[in-house]
Each structure stands twice: as C-alpha cells, then as structure tokens.
Amino acid sequence: MDKDRYEKGLEIRRQVLGAEYVDRALQNVGDFDRQFQTLVTEMAWGECWGDPTLGRKERSILNLGMLAALGRMHEFELHFRGAIKNGLTADQLRAVLIQIAVYCGIPCGVECFRIAKKVLEETRA
C-alpha cells in the first residue's frame, strides 16, 4: 500500500461521498474485506479521483454514466449525491440523465430519474 495515495484517497472519498458514509463503511470492515476497502480507497479514490487531469464534476458525470450503464443503482445513488457535492447543477444533472436514458435505454433512465428525484427532494428538505 502507498500510504500517501491512501490518505489522499481517503480525503477525497470523504469529501465526495460524505465523511459519515465513509467512516461507517470503514468501521464495518473485517478481516475478509479490509484489503478490498484499502484497494478502493487507494486506487479508485487516491489514484483515479486524485489525478488532477479531470475535475470532480467531470469524474462525477463519467461515474453516473458508467454506473447507470452497469445497472449499479445503489452506487448510482451514492455518486448522484456526490455529483451534487461536486457542484453539478440540477440542469446539468438532468442533461446527464437524459443522455443516460438515450444511450442506456429508457428503463435505465426511468430508474435514474426516480433516484435523482428522491435525492434532490432529500437535499432540499
């Protein structure tokens, strides 16, 4: 493990997904999944999200499209919340979801809009 990359990843992961969510995930780590959580934090967040070539808004857009295409709706919701934290506006998010619906199919778009509406209502409350 590269400790600096891990720490950088942990910081970014907390900023995007929320410290409460990340801390809860890490508190629930056991011997079986400890190595996986380290990998996720170091590589996905430290190496990938820590690369300054793309901004966080761009990375959020990419993740939303990929997660929708893969049908990973739990992760989609998590990253939709992160996209809001990363500064995507409601209009930008709507445009992303419409593109998802066109390229991934209307049923996928329906599910993504359902999740988006729920998250947006929660963030307004």
Over residues 2-7, mean pLDDT: 95
Determine the 3-state secondary structure of 42 from DSSP. helix
* pLDDT tens, residue by residue, 27-43: 999 999 999 999 999 99
More confident: 25 or 97: 97
Over residues 90-106, mean pLDDT: 98
The residue type at 11? E
At 11, list the tokens. Answer: 């910081």
At 82, list the tokens. Answer: 């992160």
Does domain 55-125 fall under CATH 1.20.1290.10? My reply is: yes
Domain segments of the chain as ranges: 1-53, 55-125
Q: pLDDT band for 1, please (50, 70, 90 cuts).
A: confident
Q: pLDDT band for 125, please (50, 70, 90 cuts).
A: confident
CA angle 27, 57, 41 (to 5 degrees): 25
Residue 70: C-alpha distances to residues 64, 99, 112, 115, 122 (Å): 10, 15, 12, 15, 25
Q: pLDDT at position 100, please? A: 98
